[in-house]
Amino acid sequence: MNTAPELVTAQLLAVENVCKSFPKPDGGELLVLEHVNLALKAGQIVGLLGRSGSGKSTLLRLIAGLDEPSSGDLAFRGAPIAGCASGIAMVFQSFALFPWLTVYENVALGLEAQHMEKAAIRKRSLAAIDLIGLDGFESAYPRELSGGMRQRVGFARALVVHPDILLMDEPFSALDVLTAETLRTDFLDLWAEGQMPIKGVILVTHNIEEAVLMCDRILVFGSNPGRILSEIDVTLPQPRKRLDPTFRELVEKIYVEMTSRRSGDARSARSERIPGSGIGSVLPRVSSNLLAGLVETVAAPPFNGTADLPKIASDLQMEIDELFPVAETLQMMRFAEVEGGDIKLTPEGMSFANSDLHGRKQIFARHLLNYVPLAAHIRRVLDERASHAARKSRFIDELEDFMGENDAEQTLRAVISLARYAEAFAYDDANEMFSLENPV
């Protein structure tokens, strides 16, 4: 598609060597984006695909001018981005409509901010509303609308300012499956027909199929710190069919890419080399029900211990953002191996699946204390103390050497949840104290 020489000059957006870090409470810096490069040319939809925490939304905010990079350059039409540019509009995951304004007023707001004439505002707003299929809803308030209609308002509001680049931050993820598909198709139709006043699109998503369905190029993001793992050009002609074997192949390939070892937590791999540490990895909060549920599902026929992740995801109707943390926690606890887009139970995983509740808890406790360094660390501290008790803040402080405030809180919460299921140690939230009051 980008063969003609004039398209090279039509480079809309250039992101070069961008890093972004946030200050940590202890004064250090937490790196969330590392050396990211991206180019958007006219006529392209570029997808930023990754799990939450991979920095893709941060990158989108940088492009939107809502935030600025720690280092590196962002240029829109050759000029550096500083603040919100008028040629870039955004569609939000949660719609972000003003609930006290009608559909029409919501759409017109962006033009009012540009101090346009009233008549021109009306003409353009009504045209956008018309284009996006909201005819007849002009005087409705957002609360009267369904999620799908609300997001249409979100699209109309972004398109009305005639942006060159449309930024979409997981625009379909708050919608139900059917509505999301309708909106995607409608959007792609308008895009293909060239009816929208936009030249390029950046789509943030954690839905692999959505990325393959909509994008011309996909940038796969890895986490901790957020970075681009690979770039995949999608050359399938539009409209694409989900059941097309080439489509499935591409989805499978991205699954493999995203479950490969190097996609995971780069920082924890680094810290693991330092002897005696290893508590530095951010743990996702995963319910023990989900862990047990996934083990059972994979152990049972038709999978019998080895399952294809895309298949499991569609069977269980889980997004990768929900499925991957569960699979990775199982991997961390050596109940499963995740590699090449497959999940394979270890012998211990199989025996966990086949045990009763009591047996499961024993196996779980053993694995938790053996393979989750933070859990082992907490248990060791509690064992060593005469009082068998320790403050939460003690561990939070330790974790914050490795991660941000929120991640530290989340990680500790995750370990507490796992430890409670394993009955490895107790935690009293009212006093914020760990103890051994009801050990195994």
Partner 1 sequence: MVDLVDRSHRFAFVRDVATRWDLVAIVVVIGLLTFFAEASRGLFEPLLKLSSEPLSLDPVNLPFYAARTTLRMFAALALSLAFTFTYATWAAKSARAEKLLVPILDILQSVPILGFISITVVFFMSLVPGRVLGAEFAAIFAIFTSQAWNMAFSFYQSLRTVPHELEDAAASFRLSPWMRFWRLEVPFAMPALLWNMMMSMSGSWFFVVASESISVGHTNIALPGVGSYIALAIEQGSLRAIGWAIATMFIVILLYDQLIFRPLVVWGDRFRFDQEQGGHVPESWALTMLQRSRLMTALRAVFNAIIRWTSRKAPRPQLLLTATVTATRVGRRADLLWYLLLVLVIALAVWRIARMLIGETTWHEAAQVAGLATLTMLRVMVLIALASVVWVPIGIWVGLRPRATQIVQPVAQFLAAFPANLLFPLAVYGIVTWKLNPDVWLSPLMILGTQWYILFNVIAGAAAMPTELRYAAQNLGLRGFLWWRKVALPGVLPYYVTGAITASGGSWNAAIVAELASWRNVQVKAHGLGAYIAEATTAGDFHRIILGIATMSLFVVAINRSFWRPLYYFAERKYRLS
> Which stretches of the chain bind partner 1, using CB under 8 A?
61, 64-68, 82-86, 88-90, 92-101, 104, 109-110, 112-115, 118, 122, 126, 130, 135-136, 138-139, 141-144, 150, 157, 161, 430
36 versus 85: smaller Cβ distance to partner 1? 85
Q: How open is the CA angle 60-238-75, to the nearest 5 degrees? A: 25
| Least CB distance to partner 1 at residue 274 (A) | 34
CA distance 428 to 39: 50
CA distance 180 to 209: 12
| Least CB distance to partner 1 at residue 86 (A) | 7
CA distance 240 to 206: 19
| Least CB distance to partner 1 at residue 335 (A) | 34
Bridge partners (DSSP) of residue 90 are: 167
| Least CB distance to partner 1 at residue 115 (A) | 5
CA distance 351 to 356: 10
| Least CB distance to partner 1 at residue 416 (A) | 17
101 versus 318: smaller Cβ distance to partner 1? 101
151 versus 329: smaller Cβ distance to partner 1? 151
CA distance 133 to 56: 30
| Least CB distance to partner 1 at residue 224 (A) | 23
Bridge partners (DSSP) of residue 47 are: 203, 218
In the block, tokens 């990158």 appear at: 59
Q: Count H helices, E strands: the chain? A: 17, 16
Question: What is the distance, to the nearest Å, from the Cα of residue 398 to the centroid of all Cα atoms in its chain?
Answer: 26
83 versus 301: smaller Cβ distance to partner 1? 83
State both tokens at 266: 């780069």
State both tokens at 69: 């990079």
100 versus 269: smaller Cβ distance to partner 1? 100
| Least CB distance to partner 1 at residue 117 (A) | 11
CA distance 324 to 318: 9
101 versus 436: smaller Cβ distance to partner 1? 101
203 versus 375: smaller Cβ distance to partner 1? 203
| Least CB distance to partner 1 at residue 20 (A) | 13
Collapse the DSSP code of 250 into the 3-class scheme (helix H, G, I; strand E, B; otherwise coil) and give the result: helix
Report which of 151, 156, 67, 54 is spatially closest to residue 105, judged by C-alpha positions.
156
122 versus 366: smaller Cβ distance to partner 1? 122
- What does DSSP assign to residue 226? B
